[in-house]
Amino acid sequence: MDFSELSHQQEIRESLNKIFSEKCSPEKLKNFDNEFKHDENLYEFLATNGYLGLGINEKLSGSGEDLYDLGILFECLGFHAAPLCLTGCLVDVAQTLQKFSKNDNHQSIVSSITKGEIYTSAILEPLNHDPENPTTTAVFDDDKIIISGTKYLSEISSLAKGILISASSNKGVILALVKTDNVKLTQLTSTANSPLFKVELKNVSIEESDVVHEEGRGLEALKYLLQINMVMRSYIALGVTNKMTSLIASYTSEREQFGRVIGTFQAVSHRAADCFIELECLRLVNQQASTNLNTNLDCENDALVSKIWAGNACHKISYSAQHLHGGAGVDRDYVLWRYCLLAKECELINGSASQNIERLGLNITANQ
């Protein structure tokens, strides 16, 4: 058992914090508050310096398959509210292709992602609470596959070369790459101003070689994708809630009322302490889920537990932070508000706490 970060992991964390502190200062973040929230320069910088290869095999130009390395990246993105949405590309596409595809083209896509090429995924569907059963359909027609359906919450799709889609077919669930040009994209506007898209597929024709897994392993690949997505979103949540808790600590240690700093009131310090406890639990369940996924492609209960803690921590810590800051917390000239919006996004996308509690309960009582 070892809870420590390896020296290269400490270095990644330190360098990323340094990079983001400079490149995601409140002044710079303001530029994206009302614009398309994707910092091209920052993305290129990360690509040039090897950070888009975290969690990816060396043979594919990455720096090794340890998912905890990737977790550090997402935690740091969350902590600095970086204007980048990378779960679709670095998690859903890169990790799933790396783990499940035997196709050389797909392997070179993973390699191109480490160098800054953008791909994304479109997995979730409006009002479908069971992403393992997509309503999007795939029909095998000779050597072609015809896909139709509507997806949403697909990240930075307008910049992506290809989109990884889940669909139900008579051969079971499949995951396949479609060209962005062949789908209809509509940008949605959402709470944290993340560049999220609706993706409509009308009889989109693809080759069998666009399927990213061996025959019969589609559901396994999709389950893996959903699990690792949950865990990496929980790492964003960890960064976001960690930042909010440190803002609570510093603000209440300075703000004076009744002639003393408000952090000396037990009611205040205890609410802050509760945030610290919540944060500590979230960190640990994330670490367990990501390290277990390193050696086992199916860790559903661990992933659910991390997303449940993430959902609850995002909610509780966000409102504690707003409350303990008073008016300053909701003032858009202060930094907290961006984190509160990100917290809600992390909480809800790919399974809320209540939804995942139900799923976990199902697994446990079914003797899994």
At 295 the three-state DSSP class reads helix
Cα maximum dimension of the chain:
79
- Candidates 38-46, 121-129, 284-292, 314-322 — which segment interacts with another protein by CB under 8 A? 284-292
At 130 the three-state DSSP class reads coil
d(CA 222, CA 215): 13
**89, 61, 59, 77: which is closest to 12 by C-alpha?**
77
Interaction between residue 1 and another protein (CB under 8 A): yes
Contact with another protein (CB under 8 A) among 91, 163, 342, 360: 360
- Candidates 82-90, 171-179, 207-215, 357-365 — which segment interacts with another protein by CB under 8 A? 357-365
Interaction between residue 364 and another protein (CB under 8 A): yes
Closest CB to another protein among residues 192, 285: 285
d(CA 100, CA 81): 31
Interaction between residue 7 and another protein (CB under 8 A): no
Interaction between residue 291 and another protein (CB under 8 A): yes
d(CA 133, CA 128): 8
At 163 the three-state DSSP class reads strand
Interaction between residue 355 and another protein (CB under 8 A): no
Helices 67-79, 266-295: crossing angle, 10 deg rounding: 150
Interaction between residue 43 and another protein (CB under 8 A): no
The DSSP element (H or E) to which 69 belongs, if any, is helix 67-79
Interaction between residue 5 and another protein (CB under 8 A): yes
Interaction between residue 352 and another protein (CB under 8 A): no
Closest CB to another protein among residues 117, 300: 300
Count of all residues that appear for the chain in the document: 368
Interaction between residue 159 and another protein (CB under 8 A): no
Interaction between residue 6 and another protein (CB under 8 A): yes
**108, 136, 111, 138: which is closest to 124 by C-alpha?**
136
Number of residues that bind another protein (CB under 8 A): 50
Interaction between residue 234 and another protein (CB under 8 A): no
Interaction between residue 288 and another protein (CB under 8 A): yes
Interaction between residue 263 and another protein (CB under 8 A): yes
Q: What single-letter DSSP state applies at residue 254?
A: T
Q: By CB under 8 A, name the binding residues for another protein.
A: 1-6, 9, 68, 245-246, 248-249, 252-253, 261, 263-266, 268-270, 272-274, 276-277, 280-281, 284-285, 287-288, 291-292, 301-302, 304-305, 308-309, 357-362, 364-365, 367
